[in-house]
Structure 1
Amino acid sequence: MKIAVCDDDKGCLDSMKRLLAGYPGISRTEYYQDLSQLSEALENGMGYDLVLMDIEWEGNEQDGIAYAAQYNARSPQTRFIFVTAYNDKFSEKIFWEKVNLCGFLVKPVRKEHLEKLLDKVREKIFSSEALILQHGGITEKIANSQIRYIESNAHQLLIHTISGEVSLYEKLDVYEKKLHKDFLRVHKSFLVNMQYIRRIEMKEVTLQDGTVLPVSKTRYSASRDKYFRYMRAML
């Protein structure tokens, strides 16, 4: 889950950084004290699953609610949690604009309240971006973000997740089509989730946990270029 935190008060950003520390499932967090920086990141292809948006911005013509509506028009899948010290002042306005709203937090933000909303958002993301697998008489849902890589061997797939492995009979081509956005086909037998890649070289790719997988000569250039585009979007 990729998160942006937006607040013109540096103290509030620092506080949110402490509250978010250690929460599971966050792959990247960026902090913005200026809305123009968030706009620039969006222009450069940076996308977020969730934005924690302060409502009042001193010196800005727009408040956070209006800005969130503009952001939503360009990135409707991004979810928002509004944050403010003045809950009564904005209790009606937060529902006026078209925003993918997932909650509302009052400053000072309490850790347990934040985590309940994050749980809610994560559940929505996982339910919309997941594989439905049928194997051994079992139907199982696995979030795309939980898959490290998929290995093909003699018509059998081994799906390596952060919590274990799932084996089933299917062609790797089928899952390459389903997972094309954030996954790399580095080899005829391996499909890798880019969020878990540490580095990619001409003959191998190394994952964050040290796992090394082969990269075929014919797939290296396309894999490298796609991974670089992915990384540029993350910066």
Structure 2
Amino acid sequence: MPAETSPPTDREALLDAALMHVPFDGWSEAAFRAAVRDTGIDPTLARALFPRGAVDLAVAFHKRGDARMAERLGRADLLGMRTRERIAFAVRVRLEVAGDKEAVRRGVTLFSLPPYAPEGARLIWETADAIWTALGDTDRDFNFYTKRATLAGVYSSTVLYWLGDDTPDSSATWAFLDRRIEDVMRFEKVKANPVIKRVFAGPEWVLSRMRAPRARDATDMPGRWSRPSPQE
């Protein structure tokens, strides 16, 4: 007998229904209303679940991709991979679980608009954070931020390339991704140069005081600053 599956929640049902209309209407009010109509969910409840309508649906679509990626990475055997291989694998998984390329394209368009660009940047950051977390990153100092900022740049450029890629199995995209990661690794080698390290010794000391955000921080701030001790 096939395994029993639980029925989708109202949120999931609305998102799945909206994805049928997004290729034609984008992440728009028309797509949101069509999803409400198709699911038969009370419009008041639908608006309570997604107050901004299709914008919140687009956010939910992106976050569902992050969750599915983390689930797949949790089942994958990553121990035999080098760091760059694990990163490339994780980005590839993230694009594969997105599934609907047109929905991603419409999302890129939406979050490129000035009112939603900050939220789009936050979503990309969260994806980079989800990847590093799934890969077991333990850095809590300034490297926490540099790793995610760098990966966010690699991921976002790869998404744009992928959207225009029509090669079999997206082979050109994976080659592009490998080149971007190689560029980052080359930059890291330059940073390790003793001359460069002396030049940036002062800024690095300041940045070393930064810490990754706590899991439960009462200030709800994106990070924290530790006061230098008298000896420093």
- TM category (shorter chain) comes to under 0.3
More helix by share: 2
TM-score w.r.t. the length of structure 1 is 0.26
More relative contact order in 1 or in 2 (CA 8 Å, sep 6+)?
A: 2
